[in-house]
Amino acid sequence: MSRRRVIALASSGTVWLVLLGVWWLLSALNTDPGTLWPSPPRVLSTLWDGRSAYWENAEATIREALAGFLGGVALALAVGLVSERFRSVSGALQRLAVAVYSLPLIALAPILVLWTGTGFTTKALIAGLACFFPVLINLTQALRTTDRNALELMRVSGASRWQSFWRLELPAALPSLFAAFTVAAPAAIVGALLAEWVGAERGLGIELLFSMQNYDIAQLDGTLIVISALSLLSWTFFTLLGRRLFPWHPSLRSIVVVEA
């Protein structure tokens, strides 16, 4: 293990220990009867006792987020590639994407439920909308910043517009696309949670809502820990995959991930 990795691991561990210590201290010092600060052991006990329910709900949310992520990425790729290939419609597509992205998902979700019901498709659609815009922006920006000297070399070599696109522009945009995935994957989880708030039978969003309504702070904290863990795992997965595939690219070199 390199010295840099040891330092990163020690720094990360220190931060988590400090946060845990502050949490424990606040729960021990809290004397206000109107507030609740469950201690870390109590939250961990709640997580363990309800592990079956947490797993079932997490599984439902993961399926919705994964479907939404795949759909959102596919739509962003389609819009981004069409915008780059047909510049005449690029402005209109970009403005439409910005207009959709500016709508709050919590307000858009009830409308989508009225149109498509409360089934799996609606939740995946909302999760897809949550991750669509970051992928589109990164892809479009990467395609438009391709090395002009390399493009000119392709043109002089007799390559067609499509050959230049498939052999140069798109491969050069892949590192930035993977960097976008590190943002889009956690966003898809958030979108799935919002969709479950509108209407669902299972999912971490429902568990979150019920724990707030029942004022069960230990369960609420446990649910938040599970959600944060899923988001962190998705971020780490795409970060490590991107660094493995494109270790030379600055957009991925700048992301520091602690590996055991």
> What pLDDT, on a 0 to 100 scale, did the predictor assign at position 255?
47
Q: What is the pLDDT of residue 61?
A: 95
What is the per-residue pLDDT for 1? 57
* Residues 164, 166, 167, 169, CA torsion sign: positive
Half-sphere exposure of 127 (CA within 13 A, CB side): 27
How far, in Å, CA of 121 to CA of 75, rounded?
A: 15
Q: Which residues contact 50 (CB under 8 A, 6 or more apart)?
A: 219, 222
Q: Which of 184, 226, 257 is nearest to 51 (CA)?
A: 226
Q: What is the DSSP string of 181-200?
A: HHHHHHHHHHHHHHHHHHS-
Strand (E) or helix (H) holding 120: helix 120-144
Check residue 256 and give its pLDDT.
42
Q: Given the structure tokens 């797993």, which residue do they identify?
A: 55
Note the pLDDT of residue 235: 93
Question: Nearest-CA neighbor of 194 among 210, 208, 214?
Answer: 208
For 39-253, the fitting CATH number among 1.10.3720.10, 3.30.497.10, 3.40.50.10490, 3.10.290.10 is 1.10.3720.10
Q: Do 140 and 81 contact (CB within 8 A), yes or no?
A: no
pLDDT of residue 72: 94
Which strand (E) or helix (H) includes residue 25? helix 3-29
Query: What is the distance between the alpha carbons of residues 222 and 41, in angstroms, rounded to a whole number?
Result: 11
Cα 71 from Cα 82, distance rounded (Å):
17
Q: How far is CA 254 from the centre of its chain?
A: 18
Position 55 scores a pLDDT of 94
Gyration radius of the chain's alpha carbons: 22
Angle between helices 217-245 and 40-49 (to 10 degrees): 80
Q: What is the DSSP letter of 165?
A: I
pLDDT along the chain (260 residues), means of 10: 70 82 81 70 89 93 96 91 75 80 83 83 91 88 79 77 76 85 94 88 90 87 94 92 75 45
Residue 80: its pLDDT value, please? 84
Residue 181 has a pLDDT of 93
